[in-house]
Structures are given as structure tokens and as C-alpha cells.
Chains A and B, each alone.
Chain A
Amino acid sequence: MEKTTGSEAGPLISISHLTKRYEAGDPALSDLTLEIRRGEAPAVLGPSGSGKSTLLNMIAGLDRPDEGTVTVDGVRVDRLGEAGSAKYRRATIGMVFQFFNLLDDLTVQDNVLLPAQLAGMPRAKARERALELLADLGIEQYRGTFPGRLSGGERQRVALARALMNRPPLILADEPTGALDRASAGSVVRLIRELNERGQTILLVTHDTGLAASCATRTIELVDGRLVRDGAAVTQ
């Protein structure tokens, strides 16, 4: 992995002139330039189809931009190959999805253990970390349960625990409350805020301004793949 700048001091994410086209027609993202510092919890806002998930995928190295650069924690993400980006994700990114994306045939604990196992963390240490996270998120009683038996809110906690497993500098959360009822959504929001207060950088994607207001330190608004607003958190 190539590191460009002395990383600790600079921004965690640095995006410059990022453009992504899928097929003919308007690009999903066009000429986006953006910096996110460590410890921030920005919310990317915008209507459905405005390119929020695309931006997240670029940052996670799940897809490649057509133009521009994406640098995360000193790594030029847009230049990584498949193997390189896998390593990068293990080390740097924790992802949380709208539909949880838990593996249904693994228990809660096994789901949470996965990132550590893929990264080759020693067993005992991984187990210890997983148990600590499950306890922290209040789901240790579901350790041996399969995700299919859990409520949406519980599943999203499992997903959060999994994202935190390798202590990544950056959490990417794509509509984490989109599939949850009000009460569950509220508790997930509280968790995100707590995590951020402890210093975790979290990039939150949502089309829900209420959610953005309740836990974001900054809002970035996309419309048709363009940055239309970047500023302090809106308060309702």
C-alpha cells in the first residue's frame, strides 16, 4: 500500500475531482472535491439516486472512479488492485449497510469475528475483542443466535460490532436506520453518536435530514452527483 503524505496530521479522507459514470447519461458523481478530518461524523445527504452510495463505494474501494483521486489514511484507494483493496478494507474500513448484510448461516459471534479472521488476528485475541464489543453494544446474550432470529435493530448492532472489530479508523454507514422502526433507529443513532464522541470517525449516508441532524457534526449534500452544500450540521 502506498502512503503519500505523513498521514496522522492530514485529513483522514481526501477526495479530489472525483467523477464516476456508470453508463451513458449523467454521471453518478461529478467533479467532487471533499476532505474529512479525523474524529468527524459527517452525514452525506441527498435524495435517492443522488450518488451517495456510489461515493461510499469509492471510499471503500469497492468500485473505481473514472476521474479524480480518493485518498484515505494516506492510501490512494483509487489505485488499489483487488487484493490491495481487500487488505485496505480490513485495516481501514468498517461498513454498515441498510439491510445489515449479515451472513445468515453464521451466528452473531461468528459474524462479528469475520473481519478479524480474514485479517488473521490470533483466535483468542479476536474472541476477546468480539465478546467485549457484543457486551458494549448490549447484544452479548445473542452471541450464539443466528441473525434470522433477531430484530432489525439488534441486527444492525451486530453489523456495527462487526464493523468495529478491526478497530478501523473509518466507519462507513449507508442508510443504517433505513430498514428500522423508530425506536430501533433511535438506539442505533445514539450508538453512532457515542462512538463518535469517543473519537471514531464515521461517515454516515442518509436521505433522512432528521437522522443527520441528530448525530452528524457536518452535512454534505449531494444532488445528481454534485456537491451542493457542505457545512455545519443543520439543526431542526
Chain B
Amino acid sequence: MTGGLGTIVRAGVGRRRVQTLVMGLTTTLAVTAAVLAAGLIVASEGPFDHAFNRMRGAHLSARFDSSQITPAQVSATARARQVTTAAGPYPLVSVKPTPVDTDGGLPPGIQLADLTVVGRQPGGPVDDLTLTKGRWATKPGEIVMSAHNEPFVLGNTMRFPGVPGDRLFKVVGIARSAGETADAWVPRTTIPSLTAPGSRADYQMLYRFETASTHAQMDADRTAIAALAPGRSLVGVQPWLKVRLAATRVSATFAPFIVAFGILGLIMSILVIGIVVGGAVAAGTRRIGILKSLGFTPGQVVRAHLGQALIPGGAGTLLGLVFGNLVAIPVLGDTAEVYGVGRAGIAPWVDVLVAAVALLTIAAGAWVPARRAGNLRTVEAITMGRTPSRDRGRVARRMLGRLPLPRPLTLGLATPFARPGRSATMAVAVAVGTIGATFGIGLALSLNGVQSGINLRSPGDVVVGDPTSAVNTEKVDAAITRQPGTGQWFNSAEANLGVAGLAGSTTVISYQGDSSWASWQMIRGRWFHGTGEVVTASGFLRATGTRIGDSIALVNGSRSSTVKIVGEALDVRQEGMLIVLDRTSIAPLQPRIDPLSYRFNVRLKPGVDRDDYIEAANRDLEPLGVSATRNSNKLSDTVVSMDALAGALTVLLLSVAGLGVLNTAVLDTRERVRDLGVLKALGMSPRQTTAMVITSVAGVGLIAGVIGVPIGVAVHGVVLPIMGHAAGTDIPAVDAAVYDLPLVIPLLLGGLVIATAGALLPAGWAARTRTAIALRTE
């Protein structure tokens, strides 16, 4: 850059301080949003698969019986044609831990279920282990627990009764295995001290295969391994697909809305950066003319303006990257938790890509108008700066001028037509903001609706449950009936029954007592009444291809009984493979009801104090091994994090839109400073000036609202069912229909609010500008 050019650029950046600041700020926020948006999209794109591949997860972990196979023979199974890499054999034992000190988490001394403990280190060609807390075990008496295995946390101690030495083991680290290949790990040398006398440690071998994405492929892979192992030495396998299914269910519910927000954020960022930069350069047209009259070539002019845009734009991009990555830590942390893939920051390539796109957008946004100005004949450029050609949109402006409104308002309304391109871009930006707000708020309302729908499964004021042993239901029934405060009540419990034509068993929830007020949230049809009618969750209907009105046969051994489906209710447990009915409907089948699953829901008589009731009831109930508690319905963690995420993203989108408007209004005001001076000289008051500047963006804001709200509603209409589908349910119409008038009207006006908020600052500035100074800018 020549010395002269450098001076021009520095002067341009320095003199237009407000504009430079707004441009930097907008770029910062837009890039922050873009980093977050792209990061979220990337994170939601097969997060499990990504984490799995990054950690070289085991497609199959196999357990070999050490009495039937030698380590060399185990290693030899890796020669199977389908195997790409393998690791092992590692020594493996199954031991039952007894908690010693778990910080009050577990009662000491009880015996827990088998833990699969493997003797190995992290790393290796397959199944790299990621420490999420603490450190790796190095000494005898140290153990690292798997992150998927809940009960033990860092610092807890346990014993393994029956092993030599009965040493105390301390949890020194928590690690994550992508394929969940073990419950705990110790150094290989510790395994003998975990092997009971007279038994032997088995071998674990971990494989990755050429193809492993379907059950059929996995079966073939497993058969190939088994074929290379002698006899029946392959005693257990764990295919990764099982782990994958569990891990991806939640992420699949998140992904649709995160992607929707991400796309909105990216569009918004590009638009706003584009208008901000383009506007700034276009505002400098007259200056370009003067530079050319001094002998600058068009090329130099273009470069000068690129420089002027890239300095604040580059600074904003840099800051935006920093902020984006910082904001991503909690946001992605939340989602990573849900995705079950451990810590996930912004991938470096996302940063690079966003920065490149941002800088390119800035450069393009500056280049187009700068080149246009650079190619103008000098005289035109100079006069254009003074009296910008306003041939565009004159018809519209004249018609607006005829409206029976005060002149300052019609002048304001006409302003956008002077720069139709910029106004249209801004309208789109505000519309995108409105789409985001409409969708985000609607989503939050729907999710909360679904949550309260799900909460309907447990109605009433008081719940009696948590049995510690098999409950004598008759005695509990009698105790509840005895309480004078008891209004209506019923009990429910689970049993597993067969359904004719369906493999395996299905969970049946049966109600006893007055269940007329116990209706779940219905998606279609109605709640059951009496014997012979059932309600099912969506998953069941989908899996069996049945519909409301169909009859199904419930089977227990040789007995069967036919019931009619009368309704589809909201539930996402067990993929919706649930049947709900009155217990009399299955009495003839003599099902085995899970004795620990009994719950009693009680609705109190009006005016009865809940806590008094609970106290009185518990005196009778506790001897029976159950207790009464308040029925408190909590929001699920998933709904809470979805709400938080949707809220944060909405706010971010709206801020970017607001800044875009602010910038446009600043530019417009600056360009119109002479006109404002003239109007003031003709007697326009500060209030009239403010009204004019605000109406100059209000029209755009209103139109953006009118366009944005229906699109937002449509996005909601598309995304919500996808999320529901991923969770295994249809969405009840009442939860989907959140856009009622009291919500839609403020949303429609939302664009107006964004636009006005963005315009207020320059409006005040315009109202205060000294007229004499404004006229001198001539």
C-alpha cells in the first residue's frame, strides 16, 4: 500500500468513529453467532459417530474364556478378513464390589452387581480411553471407573470380597470408553489381586471392522471372529450398535432445532456483515470522487476501502472468534453432556472456516460498492455524494407521501425506498431475527407443554410409593381410604405381557381404583373407561402398525385376552412401547405385577392441607413399607437444557439483528444529515425528527415481522414433529398449537421493536445535531 493510501485508510477509520465501532461490534457479534451456530451444527452432526471414530472406538468387544484359548490364539482372531485393527488381549475379570466410603452415596457393606474390570492402559490402536476426571491408575489399590457407570465417583473407596488380599480400592479417575467396553480399568499388574482363588482372568479383545454399521454386518463380523477361535471360547460380545442407539436417541431430539437455529444464525451473520460493510463503503462515495480527482486510480480507491472495512471487520472477526469459543464452552458442554460424547469444543476448522467466510463477506461487501464508486466518473461520484441519485422507488415514495399522515411520518416511511437494496437486506435480517424468536419461543412453549403433558401421568396432590419391599396393596388401599382428607385415588403398577404377533414382552401399566381423572395427555382418541379398553403410546402403534379402534390380544403363557385400543397417549419411555389399562382388563391373565412398581396417586378433598394429610397418612403407611410425599412434577433436564439453549440462541439472533438495524439507521442518518438540517431549518422539531427516523425503520420492521412470524411458525411446525419422532412420539396437538393471538401479536410487532430499538440511538443523535453544523456538511 502506498503511503498516501495508508493515510487515507487510517483517516477513514479514525474519522468515522461511530461507524467503525458499530461495524466492529456487529462483526464481533455476528462472528460469535456464526461460530456458535456452525459449532452446534457440527456437534449435532453424528456426534456419537465422531466421538467414536476420534477415540477409535471398538465396534466389537469380545470376551474369551481363558480356559479354552491361549493369548496367542486370541491375537490370531485379528486376522479375520473384516478386521481393520484390533487390540488386546487384555485380562478381564468380573467382580462384585462392596462400597466402603462413597460420601454417603451408597450404604457401606452392600453387595453390588458385577463390574467388568479390564487390565489395560489408555491409548492403543482401538478404544482409546479419555480421562474425564482424575488420573490414570498406576498402583495396586487404584481403579478408574467408566463414566457411564453411575454409582462410584472420584475419591470413593470399595472392596472386592473374596479376592486375594481383600485390598481397599480407591477411584482415582473417571474415564470414557466410546464403546463402553468395561465398567472399570486397573493396571494389568493389578488383575491377579482381583482374581478369586481358583478362577482365572478371561481375555478381552477389541476390534474395528471394515463395515459395522448394520446388525447384519455386525453378525457377519462376529461370526468371522468366532470361526477363528477354538470351540466355544468366545463367551461374550458387545457390539457398538447397542451403545450407539442409547447415545444417539437424545441427540437426535436435539439436532433438529439446533440445526434450525444454526442455519438462521449463519444467514443472519452473513447478511448483517454484508449490509454493514456495503453501507459503510457506499456512504463514502463522495469521498471516493474527491480521491479520484486527486489522482487516485480506481484500483487504489477500491483497496483503500477494502482496508477501511477490513480493519474494524478483522478486529471484530478476531473478537468474535474469541467470544464464540468462550460461549461455546458452556453451550456445547450442555449439548455434549446430552450427546454423551464427553467434552466437545469448537473444532478448529470451524474457527478457520467462519473467519474465512466472515473476512470474505467483509471484503465482498466492501469490494462491490467500492468498485462501483471507483468506476464512476469523478464528477458523478462527487455530485452523487452530495445529491445521491434517488431515482429508485420514487413511485412508492410519492404514494406514501399522499397518505393522510403527518409529514414527518410519511417522510420516514419513504426513506427505505431510497436505498431499496439495503432496506431489503435489513428487512431480511430482521425477519430472520423474528423467525428465530418465533421459533424459539414457540419451541420452549411446546416443550414445556409436552413436559406438563408427560407430568399428567402422575396426577393428584399426594403420591404414595417408593416401596422398599413387596407391598400389601390391600392394606395400603385401606390406609388411604381411612384418611378423612382422601378425595379420589387410584394405584398403578407395571407388568410385562406378550402381545399377539409381537416378539418379546411389552410393558403394561394397569390402574386400579378411580382412574377416570388419571388421563395422560392424549394425542388421539380418549382415555380408557373400564374393562376391555386400552390406551397406548405412539411407539406401540408405530411398532405394531395398529390404529385406534383396532383390537389386540394380550398374552400371558397360555391365557390371552382381547382389548380394544381407544386412544394414543404421550409418553417417551421405552420407545413408547407401553400399554395402559384398567387392571380388570388383565385380571384373567393372572399377570405377575412388579411388586416394587406400585404407586398410589391421591387427590385431596377441597380445603385439606396437604402437609397435614401427608403427616397423618405416613403414620399409617410407613409400617407398610411405603411413604406419602407431595406430588411434585419437575422439568426434565433435557427440557431445561433445550429451553436454555433455545433462549440463548434467540437472544443472540435478536442482538445481531438489532445491531444490523442500528448500523443501517446510523448510516442512513449520516447520509441524510444535510436533509435533516434542511428540514430543521424549515421548522422540523426534535420530536418530529425522532418520529421520522423511527418510522424510517418501522416499516421495514413491520414487514419483517409479517414475513418472519409465519416462517417461524412453519419452522416450528416442521422441527417439532421431527424432534418428537426422534424421541419416539407424536406431539399432541395442544402442545404444537402454541401460536395463539396473545403470542402472535407481540411476535408480529417484534420486528418493529427490533427495528425501533436499533434506530433509537441515531434518532436521538439526529434530533440533537446542531442544524448549522448539519447544513455546513454541504
Contacts and interface: CB of A to CB of B under 8 A. Distances in A.
A171 B633 CA distance: 77
B674 interface: yes
Nearest to A165: B682
A97 interface: yes
A75 interface: no
Interface stretch (A3-11, A82-90, A186-194, A201-209): A82-90
A113 B438 CA distance: 42
Nearest to B778: A99
B192 interface: no
Contacts, number: 88
A89 to B, nearest CB: 4
A73 to B, nearest CB: 14
Contact of B682 (A89, A120, A123): A89
A107 B402 CA distance: 12
A162 B404 CA distance: 21
Given A62-B772, A104-B388, A115-B683, A82 B767 contact: yes
A105 B686 contact: no
A119 B513 CA distance: 78
A95 to B, nearest CB: 5
Interface in B243-272: none
Nearest to B684: A118
Contact of B684 (A57, A86, A97, A106): A86
Interface in B51-79: none
Interface string B360-388: 00000000000000000000000000011
A48 interface: no
Given A82-B767, A105-B390, A118 B682 contact: yes
A105 B418 contact: yes
A115 B397 contact: no
Contacts of B681: 60, 62, 89, 95, 101
Nearest to B417: A105
A103 B677 CA distance: 11
A73 B767 CA distance: 26
Given A87-B685, A101-B775, A104-B388, A118 B679 contact: yes
Contact of B407 (A91, A93, A102, A117): A117
Most chain A C-beta atoms within 10 Å of own C-beta, residue among B387, B683, B775 = B683
Given A97-B775, A117-B407, A118-B684, A103 B678 contact: yes
Contacts of A97: 775
Contacts of B775: 62, 97, 101
B688 interface: yes
- Where chain A touches its partner, the secondary structure class is helix
A89 B772 CA distance: 13
Contact of A63 (B414, B684, B772): B772
Contacts of B394: 105, 146
B387 A104 contact: yes
Given A95-B681, A101-B674, A101-B778, A86 B772 contact: no
Interface residues on B, range: 35 or more
B683 A89 contact: yes
A113 B410 CA distance: 13
Given A104-B387, A105-B414, A82 B772 contact: no
B679 A114 contact: yes
Interface in A55-103: 57, 60, 62-63, 82-83, 86-91, 93, 95, 97, 99, 101-103
Contact of B678 (A83, A101, A107): A101
A63 B770 contact: yes
A230 interface: no
B467 interface: no
Interface string A32-47: 0000000000000000
B680 A114 contact: no
A104 B686 CA distance: 22
A95 B390 contact: no
Contacts of A105: 390, 394, 397, 414, 418
Nearest to B398: A107
B542 interface: no
B687 interface: yes
Contacts of A138: none
A93 to B, nearest CB: 8
Interface residues on A, range: 35 or more
A48 to B, nearest CB: 14
Contacts of B333: none
B387 A114 contact: no
Nearest to A104: B387
A76 B778 CA distance: 28
B776 to A, nearest CB: 9
Interface in B372-429: 387-390, 394, 397-398, 401, 404, 406-408, 414, 418
B771 interface: yes
Contacts of A110: 398, 401
Most chain B C-beta atoms within 10 Å of own C-beta, residue among A82, A95, A120 = A82
Nearest to B686: A82
A40 B686 CA distance: 32
B771 A118 contact: no
A21 to B, nearest CB: 14
B389 to A, nearest CB: 8
Nearest to A101: B678
A178 interface: no
A148 interface: yes
B466 interface: no
B683 A87 contact: yes
Contact of A57 (B404, B408, B772): B772
B620 to A, nearest CB: 78
A83 B691 CA distance: 14
B404 to A, nearest CB: 8
Contacts of B407: 113-114, 117-118
A123 B406 CA distance: 10
Contacts of B688: 86, 118
B401 A103 contact: no
B675 interface: yes
Contacts of A90: 682-683
A66 B575 CA distance: 81
Contacts of B771: 57, 62-63
B410 to A, nearest CB: 9
Nearest to A102: B678
A79 B482 CA distance: 86
Contact of A62 (B390, B408, B418, B770): B770
A119 B772 contact: no
A166 B394 CA distance: 26
B686 A83 contact: yes
Interface in B660-684: 674-675, 677-684
B777 to A, nearest CB: 11
Contacts of B678: 101-103
A87 B668 CA distance: 25
A118 B388 contact: no
Contacts of B683: 86-91, 93, 115, 118-119, 166
A118 B679 CA distance: 9
Nearest to B767: A82
Contact of B390 (A89, A104, A162): A104
A148 B387 contact: yes
Contacts of B406: 117, 120
Interface in A117-162: 117-120, 123, 146, 148, 162
A93 B681 CA distance: 9
B680 A86 contact: yes
Contacts of A162: 682
Nearest to A117: B407
Nearest to A89: B683
Most chain B C-beta atoms within 10 Å of own C-beta, residue among A60, A87, A110, A118 = A118
10 contacts: A62-B770, A63-B770, A101-B775, A103-B675, A104-B390, A105-B397, A105-B418, A106-B401, A117-B406, A148-B389
Given A88-B683, A93-B683, A97-B775, 13 more contacts: A82-B685, A83-B687, A86-B683, A86-B688, A87-B683, A89-B682, A90-B682, A99-B778, A101-B681, A105-B418, A113-B407, A114-B407, A148-B389
